[in-house]
Chains A and B, each alone.
Chain A
Amino acid sequence: MKTIKNTMVAVLLSLTVLTACKNNLNETLYSDVTSSTYKYDNPYAAIGIVYANMRNLFSHTNYYMLQETTSDELVMPANASGWDDGGIYKHMHLHTYNSLDPQVNNMFNTFYNGIINANRIIVQIQTDVIKPPAGVTKESFLAEVQVARAFYYWLVCDNFGNGPLVTNTDKTLPSMTSRKDIYNFIVTEITAALPNLSEAQDKVMYGRFNKWAAKALLANVYLNAEVYSGEAKWTECLQQCNDIIGKYSLENNYSDIFKTQNESSPEIIFAIPFDQTLAQGFFPEMFSWHGALKGKKNMQATPWGSGSAMGVSQFIDTYSANDERLADTWLIGPQLGTDGKPLLGSYDQAGKPLNFTKDIPNSLFTGESEGYRMNKFEVQLGAMSNLSNDFPFFRYGQVLMMKAECLLRTGDAAQAATLVTNVRNRAFKTAPAEAIVTAADLVKNSVYKYGYVENYKITDAGDQSTIQYGKFLDELGYEFAWEAFRRRDDIRFGVYTKKSWLSHKPQGDTKIIFPLPEPALNSNPNLKQNPGY
């Protein structure tokens, strides 16, 4: 483990002091500690809870899989092991999610935990209860927490659309704010904070909002502005991307961005740091891999059942065979143990060698060896259930692709093609010519064969209208699968509520935003459920 990570983990860990300082054997009367008497000796620890909370986004029942399994890229079917949790994962694929689905509630709670803590910390910084670290101005420290709060509000705006906009520590029950107003708030907050943010890219700022991470956030907000507010902001998005360009660089090897020790990757702009013991919460292999794959890496944990999260075969079909991202992203074919012997199935393939095949019959139930599984994030030898790979929430490749999209949409397909080619180069080392895309390519329709699938075959093509810049959407898929962008991209490109894939059929535009969760509605009668739920 590298020192950067040690430092960061120390910062993030100290937040636990707030809640459970149980390692001190001296008796402490916790009832005497209140927010007004507590001494915030370590300012980084004081703000750490806002960042640490982000780790909660990455379980299979939270933000992460909601972005992927509601899209045309990933699906979590029930399988031979029987793991289905009452069908809650199917709701995502079928777009039949409702206010009772625990994923929706978990996501809402994680967002607002972050927001409420940020509100408190902002007040505490303003009132000097929390003093900035030496060498950091109060304005700069405040600006960082405000951007972190804006990050959560962006997720609220993106996923729930409408919601309570709370910026103080009042106890009054908030009412609803419209998606557009939340969007405006986010833009205003980040824009105001930018001048005060640190430009440093050092280990102290790792996993925190420096100016570039804030700009990457703002660029993402602008990229989807038309969805949020009805008004596109391509020029504004482009401006933010241009400001970042040159500050970071692409990783030479695509898979290195996602390896266990990826904290020093030159590509990562904003990471959510994870550690298998000290900062847990990232375990995609547990809900994607078959239990037998424990033997593949001599894991200390057994992945759940026969695994679930897998690629939608229609999406996999769009890859070029020469695209190294296919194998870098997906676990394919026969699976061997560390001893070189085949790993065996336990359910419908009991005793037979596991061999992950591409095609899946539908989203409801698959065989134990069907469907390509997660290979993007390295599972190191001897891994525990929680991985130590940091999650590259914003990375340089994404900034380049955002810039390319802005150019494409504002009429400069040629320059967009150059950027896309730049990003593709590293993935076509054996067939470099194929990395090159042209302006003409990018305006083509997607090659994705949309349609409703029954028993491995498309039985109802559904909407077959041309997707504008569909080829570019395909590119986003290859580059960012498993990185929680696909739902947003599907919405922006008009796929999300129009096309059919696997067992999914369009369920109407109201599905673009999730329902507010029932527990939130129940406890606050000022809230109003989103339309269509």
Chain B
Amino acid sequence: MNILKRKLVLLALPTLMPCVTNAQQSIVKMTPVNFSQVQINDNFWSPRINTVTNVTIPVCIQQTEVVTPRIRNFEKVARKQGEKHEGIYFDDSDVYKALEAIAYSLKNHPDAKLEAKADEWIDKIAAAQQPDGYLNTYYTLSGLENRWSDMEKHEDYNAGHLIEAAVAYYNTTGKRKLLDVASRVVDNIDSTFKQQNRHWVSGHEEIELALVKLYKATGKEKYLDLADWYLQQRGHGYGRGAIWTNRHMGEKYCQDDVPVKDQSQIEGHAVRAMYLYTGAADVGAARNDPGYLKAMNNVWEDVVYRNMYITGGIGSSGSNEGFTVDYDLPNKSAYCETCASVGMVLWNERMNLLTGNAKFVDVLERSLYNGALDGLSLSGDHFFYGNPLASDNNYQRSEWFGTACCPSNIARLVESLGNYIYASSDDAIWVNLFVGSSTDIALKKGKVQLQQQSNYPWNGNIKLTVNPVSKTNFPLHIRIPGWAVNQPVPGETYQFTDKTDSTFTIALNGKPVKYSMQNGYAVIARDWKKGDLLTLNLPMPVRKIKAIDSVKVNVNKIALQRGPLMYCVEQVNTDQNKQSYIVPENTAFNTVYDQNMLNGIVMIKAQVPVLTPTADGSGIKTEQGTLTAIPYYSWANRGKSEMQVWLPTRVSSVNIKANSNDQ
């Protein structure tokens, strides 16, 4: 019996491997373990989740309902008094995204009062739905006859976020009202568009991934068909409306110049691109259609190899909220929209599930801990829309935005963080993120409980207790982050300045254990029994990163990474004088944990040359001084400050200021 089982395992692995290693591009059946099945109990994310629940979501509610007219627009539709729409035509989506965050929050922290508020909103939303199923306060208040006339006007984007909220709320509460509203909205879209010779290009992608969620929630194939239809509309010249008539935008702006399956270059608006590719990956997985995967891989390489910041942020340009040309990655003017980093998390999760390759989680982790998390203040009530990698003292998080996509987006991401930690198939388990948590995973052979303990991201000692109900043989895949094996980011753009030999170790019940490396995972296939304790040690030295010379702004600069976190040097304005420093490549760093600093962080400190004016102003002198770097996500929480992620290793010119007002 045992021998037979082993044989089966040996057989099973090679069948899995071709899926994830070679270019054949068939699709792996990995599914994420839903956040509702994951109890997070660590010291890093738990407090952040609590802050989102207790601060961010109430802020979103206050802004949505009281400060801005977003909820009032729904009330106006229901009143039918001919009142005017207020705000922007995509404001409905902020209501839906807030509801989605509330739904996740209710799962993490049940709260009858909050649920009553959500139900009140849902009643108002339902009351604004038209008899034919259409639901959009902008067009209903400003002239229904004009609906579906401009593909840029976010009608399907709004519908997509409604669907996501509806599915989330149904999953948390079991209440169908919003799901029924969303289904009717989609049925109306379906009957409006699914005709011969009828074309429609969604001007802001989002509904594609949402429709796959609706398909999974309802089991209705037609929603998957509609998602696929939306994807297939792109790239054939069908686009009509403000994007296509605007010569600064055009079809590239919304990835409509090439059919999705033929795309290979990242372009246009970053958030649109992320949502599109997430939806395409979802449809490809659900349809078992490798055509999308091939295109996704090509585009992904274009993003990660040539167009991604070291923070995992994307979209360097504010003028199009998106991409420009390869390696154009300015630091101070970096746009790096929070929503685009959220999109990177979503897309890379899908790519990982499709391919079983850990490199996608490497990027996910980078975007999550850096580019996305930076969007939210430690207090939970201020938000970045863009996340630059360098700043003068003029950039701070805001309380809210006219276009308020980011606050609720980061809120829903944090509340649903549990989605990204574990994945499973019928007979295998993947551990993707290192977040103290526990979960139960049902394999075909039986249920397995996992308990993860660590002080990540400050410390790389990870303990994983495996508790199968009874002795069970399955391969456990533990992600070995690229940063732990000398590969900060897939591709050539970013490299550590030095190689380290101090590599990770894995032990089982205190003893070394055999594992094989597959697609960035250490795979331990064995008979697991109750109480098996796996320990993974990921050393976290301070690593210096260089960008290749093609990234011109980063020549003669390094960035500091420790564990998954990027660091920055922040000089708060209350410091006496701003230091001008260089960080020579041979600088030695030490680290110190300060629990009182910025809710508890590991700081990096180093003695570096600091350039200051001589007392008589006749020149400059160089002295050793202390440089302190903090995690990038935590900057701008101490008032106005100057900040740099990329630090100079040498001086190439000197810019003298004659007085403190000299610009």
Residue of chain B at shortest CB distance from A100: B198
User: Which single member of B147, B195, B198 contacts A522 (CB below 8 Å)?
Assistant: B147
Q: Is A340 an interface residue (CB 8 A)?
A: no
Residue of chain B at shortest CB distance from A96: B196
Q: What is the 8 Å Cβ interface bit string for chain B, positions 316-353, against chain A (1 contact, 0 not)? A: 00000000000000000000000000000000000000
> CA A518 – CA B148 in complex, angstroms?
9
Q: What is the 8 Å Cβ interface bit string for chain A, positions 248-283, against chain B (1 contact, 0 not)? A: 000000000000000000000000000000000000
Q: Is A229 an interface residue (CB 8 A)?
A: no
Q: Is A109 an interface residue (CB 8 A)?
A: no
Residue of chain B at shortest CB distance from A99: B195
Residue of chain B at shortest CB distance from A91: B197
Q: List 17 A-B contacts (CB under 8 A).
A: A91-B196, A91-B197, A97-B196, A98-B195, A98-B197, A101-B197, A518-B148, A518-B192, A522-B144, A522-B145, A522-B147, A522-B148, A522-B149, A523-B144, A525-B130, A525-B131, A525-B144
Which residues of the other chain, B, contact A526 by a CB distance below 8 angstroms? 131-132
What total of A-B pairs shows CB separation below 8 Å?
Answer: 47
Q: What is the 8 Å Cβ interface bit string for chain A, positions 100-118, against chain B (1 contact, 0 not)? A: 1100000000000000000
Measured CB to CB, the residues of B under 8 A from A are 130-132, 134, 144-149, 191-192, 195-198
User: Which single member of B130, B134, B145, B191 contacts A533 (CB below 8 Å)?
Assistant: B191
Known: A525-B130, A526-B132. A519 touches B198 (CB 8 A): no
Which residues of the other chain, B, contact A529 by a CB distance below 8 angstroms? 191-192
> CA A97 – CA B144 in complex, angstroms?
23
> Do A99 and B198 touch across chains, with their CB atoms under 8 A apart?
yes
Which residues of the other chain, A, contact B197 by a CB distance below 8 angstroms? 87, 91, 96-98, 100-101
Which residues of the other chain, B, contact A96 by a CB distance below 8 angstroms? 196-197
Residue of chain A at shortest CB distance from B140: A525
> CA A174 – CA B197 in complex, angstroms?
28
- Chain B CB count within 10 A is highest, among A100, A519, A525, for A525
Residue of chain B at shortest CB distance from A515: B195
> CA A515 – CA B197 in complex, angstroms?
13
> Do A527 and B132 touch across chains, with their CB atoms under 8 A apart?
yes
Q: Is A381 an interface residue (CB 8 A)?
A: no
> CA A509 – CA B195 in complex, angstroms?
14
User: Which single member of A175, A525, A528, A533 contacts B195 (CB below 8 Å)?
Assistant: A533
Q: Is A461 an interface residue (CB 8 A)?
A: no
Q: What is the 8 Å Cβ interface bit string for chain A, positions 321-336, against chain B (1 contact, 0 not)? A: 0000000000000000
Q: Is A521 an interface residue (CB 8 A)?
A: yes
Known: A98-B197, A99-B195, A100-B198. A525 touches B132 (CB 8 A): yes
Q: What is the 8 Å Cβ interface bit string for chain A, positions 69-111, against chain B (1 contact, 0 not)? A: 0000000000000000001000100001111110000000000
- Chain B CB count within 10 A is highest, among A521, A527, A528, for A521
Question: In the complex, how many angstroms separate the beta carbon of A270 from the nearest chain B beta carbon?
Answer: 34
Which residues of the other chain, B, contact A522 by a CB distance below 8 angstroms? 144-149
12 further contact pairs, Cβ within 8 A, besides A97-B196, A101-B197: A96-B197, A98-B197, A98-B198, A99-B198, A175-B131, A518-B192, A522-B144, A522-B149, A525-B144, A526-B131, A528-B132, A529-B192
Q: Which secondary structure dominates where chain B touches chain A?
A: loop
Which residues of the other chain, B, contact A91 by a CB distance below 8 angstroms? 196-197
> CA A367 – CA B538 in complex, angstroms?
75
Q: What is the 8 Å Cβ interface bit string for chain A, positions 495-533, against chain B (1 contact, 0 not)? A: 000000000000100000001001101111111110001
Which residues of the other chain, B, contact A97 by a CB distance below 8 angstroms? 196-197
User: Which single member of A98, A175, A519, A524 contacts B196 (CB below 8 Å)?
Assistant: A98
Which residues of the other chain, A, contact B148 by a CB distance below 8 angstroms? 518, 522
> CA A519 – CA B145 in complex, angstroms?
6
User: Which single member of B131, B145, B195, B198 contacts A523 (CB below 8 Å)?
Assistant: B145
Question: In the complex, how many angstroms separate the beta carbon of A370 from the nearest chain B beta carbon?
Answer: 25
Which residues of the other chain, A, contact B149 by a CB distance below 8 angstroms? 522
Question: In the complex, how many angstroms separate the beta carbon of A174 from the nearest chain B beta carbon?
Answer: 11
Question: In the complex, how many angstroms separate the beta carbon of A308 from the nearest chain B beta carbon?
Answer: 19
> CA A526 – CA B191 in complex, angstroms?
14
Which residues of the other chain, B, contact A525 by a CB distance below 8 angstroms? 130-132, 134, 144
> CA A522 – CA B134 in complex, angstroms?
9
> CA A314 – CA B135 in complex, angstroms?
49
Q: What is the 8 Å Cβ interface bit string for chain A, positions 173-200, against chain B (1 contact, 0 not)? A: 0010000000000000000000000000
Question: In the complex, how many angstroms separate the beta carbon of B241 from the nearest chain A beta carbon?
Answer: 14
> CA A258 – CA B56 in complex, angstroms?
77
> CA A395 – CA B195 in complex, angstroms?
37
Which residues of the other chain, A, contact B134 by a CB distance below 8 angstroms? 525
A438-455: which residues lie under 8 A (CB-CB) from chain B? none
Residue of chain A at shortest CB distance from B198: A98
> CA A521 – CA B134 in complex, angstroms?
11
Question: In the complex, how many angstroms separate the beta carbon of B131 from the nearest chain A beta carbon?
Answer: 5
> CA A518 – CA B145 in complex, angstroms?
9
> CA A97 – CA B198 in complex, angstroms?
9
> CA A87 – CA B196 in complex, angstroms?
13
> CA A98 – CA B149 in complex, angstroms?
15
> CA A87 – CA B197 in complex, angstroms?
10
Residue of chain A at shortest CB distance from B195: A98
> CA A175 – CA B132 in complex, angstroms?
10
> CA A526 – CA B188 in complex, angstroms?
12
Question: In the complex, how many angstroms separate the beta carbon of A417 from the nearest chain B beta carbon?
Answer: 41
> CA A115 – CA B148 in complex, angstroms?
27
> CA A533 – CA B144 in complex, angstroms?
20
Residue of chain B at shortest CB distance from A87: B197
> Do B196 and A521 touch across chains, with their CB atoms under 8 A apart?
no
> CA A175 – CA B148 in complex, angstroms?
20
> CA A519 – CA B147 in complex, angstroms?
9
Question: In the complex, how many angstroms separate the beta carbon of A484 from the nearest chain B beta carbon?
Answer: 24
Which residues of the other chain, B, contact A518 by a CB distance below 8 angstroms? 148, 192
> CA A98 – CA B192 in complex, angstroms?
10
> Do A521 and B195 touch across chains, with their CB atoms under 8 A apart?
no
Which residues of the other chain, B, contact A175 by a CB distance below 8 angstroms? 131
Residue of chain B at shortest CB distance from A175: B131
Question: In the complex, how many angstroms separate the beta carbon of B83 from the nearest chain A beta carbon?
Answer: 17
